[in-house]
């Protein structure tokens, strides 16, 4: 038995469970794989100059990913590993066996960065296909256990700051945005020069990213933004929240996948019936919607009203069209 295997076998069951499934609850390994294959067969592959970080000292690539991702990278999602282990053991765990989990990068308590999934592909980390298709995800190894508050080391956090700065730089971003309010954060569409931070606990019943790493999200956003602009950004939380609120109201959802989860299924029904048409020919994109946030909200309310007054009518129409 080598050191890595011995290290993995020493982990408690709760850590094993936390690191064993990062898929959306609506998915399984097969369906998540087929999503990427279907996109490649249909010729609907999103490709926009993806690269990988030079800060990674090794590539321990996991087969647990969707190839390729279907969205531009505009999100960063840091997780904690919920375990005291080396980054190599972490990525070997994702690389071998039949786990349904992976991450783009792992970060050890000594600050070592290693890569687990190419940035061009969607990792299986956050229990949300919507999030992970647009996110680069990180698993940060802990230096203490739950009884200690799941701490992460200073070296690990400094490595995370450097890695996020590198990623934002390579994709032309000038600001890393963190919005503590879940609903506002998920509704917020980053501008072309922005990345936003999301949290695993927004998509699943989990304590991830843990109290230690989770408390550092505001600092992470501030320091990365300062690095990108080579100066401290002098903005209060109230000023930032005002900007966020204004942008949320002005947001335009181009594609059905851009629509927040809580409205998407309703709007998908009218898209299937061709009641909504984003204006792009179906041969190019048959799922564009081009709705403002206000319009999307009104459409969702309308669909709920129809479902309440005429139960099953919309679903029956979709079945007649072969769309359900």
- For residues 20-49, give the mean pLDDT: 71
- pLDDT band at residue 314, thresholds of 50, 70 and 90? confident
Q: Which residue has the higher pLDDT, 300 or 130?
A: 130
Give the domains, in start order, of the chain with CATH numbers: 3-248 (3.40.80.10), 251-320 (no CATH)
pLDDT at 267: 81
pLDDT at 311 over 70: yes
pLDDT at 286: 67
Distance CA 313, CA 168 (A): 46
pLDDT at 84: 94
Q: Which residue has the higher pLDDT, 171 or 265?
A: 171
pLDDT at 117 over 80: yes
Q: Which segments of the chain does DSSP mark as H helices, in order?
A: 3-9, 13-18, 29-42, 87-95, 129-134, 154-170, 182-187, 210-214, 217-229, 237-250, 261-272, 293-309, 313-320
pLDDT at 212: 97
pLDDT in tens, 43-54: 555 556 788 999
- For residues 62-88, give the mean pLDDT: 94
- pLDDT band at residue 166, thresholds of 50, 70 and 90? very high
Q: Which residue has the higher pLDDT, 183 or 283?
A: 183
pLDDT at 293: 73
pLDDT-above-70 percentage for the chain: 83
pLDDT in tens, 213-238: 999 999 999 999 999 997 545 555 56
Distance CA 98, CA 320 (A): 39
pLDDT at 246 over 90: no
pLDDT at 238: 64
pLDDT at 13 over 80: no
Do residues 100 and 64 make contact, with C-beta atoms less than 8 angstroms apart? yes
Instruction: Give, in degrees to the nearest 5, the angle at Cα 200 between 77 and 123.
Output: 55
């Amino acid at each position: 038995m080598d050191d890595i295997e011995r290290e993995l076998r020493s982990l408690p069951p709760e850590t094993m469970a936390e690191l064993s499934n990062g898929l959306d609850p609506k998915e399984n390994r097969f369906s998540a794989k087929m999503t990427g294959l279907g996109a490649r067969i249909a010729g609907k592959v999103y490709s926009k100059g993806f690269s990988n970080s030079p800060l990674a000292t090794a590539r321990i690539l996991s087969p647990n990913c969707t190839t390729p991702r279907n969205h531009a990278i505009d999100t960063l999602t840091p997780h904690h590993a919920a375990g005291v282990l080396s980054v190599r053991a972490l990525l070997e765990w994702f690389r071998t066996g039949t786990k349904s989990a992976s991450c783009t990068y792992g970060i050890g308590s000594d600050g070592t960065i290693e890569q687990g999934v190419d940035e061009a592909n969607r990792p299986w980390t956050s229990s949300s296909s919507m999030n992970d298709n647009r996110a680069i995800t990180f698993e940060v190894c802990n230096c203490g256990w739950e009884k200690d508050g799941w701490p992460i080391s200073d070296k690990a956090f400094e490595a995370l700051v450097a890695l996020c700065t590198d990623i934002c730089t390579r994709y032309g971003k000038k600001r890393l945005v963190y919005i503590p309010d879940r609903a506002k954060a998920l509704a917020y569409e980053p501008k072309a020069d922005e990345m936003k931070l999301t949290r695993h606990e927004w998509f699943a019943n989990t304590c991830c990213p843990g109290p230690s790493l989770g408390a550092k999200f505001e600092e992470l956003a501030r320091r990365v933004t300062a690095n990108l602009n080579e100066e401290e950004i002098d903005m209060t939380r109230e000023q930032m929240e005002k900007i966020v609120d204004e942008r949320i109201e002005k947001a335009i959802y181009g594609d059905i996948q851009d629509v927040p989860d809580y409205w998407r299924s309703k709007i998908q029904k009218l898209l299937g019936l061709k009641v909504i048409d984003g204006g792009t020919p179906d041969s190019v994109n048959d799922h564009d919607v081009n709705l403002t946030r206000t319009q999307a909200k009104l459409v969702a309310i309308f669909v709920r009203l129809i479902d309440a007054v005429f139960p099953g009518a919309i679903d029956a129409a979709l079945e007649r069209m072969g769309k359900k």
